[in-house]
A = this chain, B = another copy of it.
């Protein structure tokens, strides 16, 4: 009992590092827009015969987020929406971000900038520290839009200094089932020249040569490399985003020099855990799915504690848009760790001290080591 309650107290008090997250919305939303934002897989309007609130994520919002808006747990979707609108975006955002108990946000600002808070906005609204991540495909697209002449050098120079990590969304652009070796500089220069010439105002990077270049340039810059794997928008072919398809890339000695962070991973989290055992530099999380699975996130998180050493797992929400997601990810993670580790301690399988120590590694320690963050 002592064990279990000490773990619960530890979790309640622990400041987390959310090692992969995006900004919260800056704009007022309609309920229809909010519901679309609760669906990771589809950009379509929610059909009239259903509501996206009728999902594990929707139920978890009504269970855990409603009380922060002064409503009872399980308030109806209509009540929730009424109260949320009444409070307004700024107040709602501040409440959720501050209640998340996150001291450090490792922030990808490369998607839909303008509609969500930037680094300073997130710091101000949350009271936490923000550590920026460069999105490699967005960086490339910026260079193309500028029409830079010396793509290779310019890419390298923009990677330096300001970022704690680089992120790639090659899952959305070409999948993993192709050669991910390093292209030569001249191949890159040639591909960049071709692309820059054709790309127009809003270039979209899909050329595998330039995508591969981004990955290897980040590794050469010594940046921890975050890679989206597993589920996301239906634009991606989920089966071609299985992290096992990165095996040859991970075997590349040039890649083994930097930490690789496999993001999300669902439903390939067991495969990701295998890679985290098999490669000293590979880490993973089950963010994104934690929110979407709601009450089922405890089982998902339990499944993530299989092959991977405990030094190789991190917490993330992968929240984007509704600040409910920034708060809920942390809340569901604390709930899951309390349930899972609590039961192992109660059954004598783990010691109380180990449970608390591992919770600390997962919640912040591992991320502080990987991203070289100051100790919280």
Q: Tell me the A residues contacting B by CB distance below 8 Å.
A: 39-42, 44-47, 49-50, 52, 54-56, 59-60, 63, 73-74, 231, 233-234, 237-239, 242, 244-245, 247, 251, 266-267, 270-271, 274-275, 277-280, 289, 292-296, 299-300, 302-303, 305-312, 344, 348-351, 354, 358, 361, 369
Contact = CB atoms under 8 A, between A and B. Distances in A.
A299 B305 CA distance: 11
A311 B247 CA distance: 36
Nearest to A292: B307
A56 B233 CA distance: 33
A299 B52 CA distance: 24
A322 to B, nearest CB: 16
A351 B306 contact: no
Given A54-B358, A354-B74, A231 B307 contact: yes
Contacts of A50: 309, 311-312
Contact of A274 (B63, B238, B369): B238
Contact of A309 (B55, B270, B300, B302): B55
A175 to B, nearest CB: 11
Contact of A348 (B73, B311, B369): B73
A247 B361 CA distance: 38
A339 to B, nearest CB: 9
B295 A56 contact: no
Contact of A238 (B55, B244, B369): B244
Contacts of A312: 50
Contacts of A73: 348, 351
A42 B239 contact: no
A52 B296 CA distance: 29
22 contacts: A39-B278, A41-B278, A42-B280, A45-B280, A49-B311, A54-B358, A55-B309, A59-B350, A59-B354, A73-B351, A74-B354, A234-B251, A234-B278, A237-B247, A238-B244, A266-B270, A277-B292, A292-B306, A293-B306, A293-B307, A295-B349, A299-B303
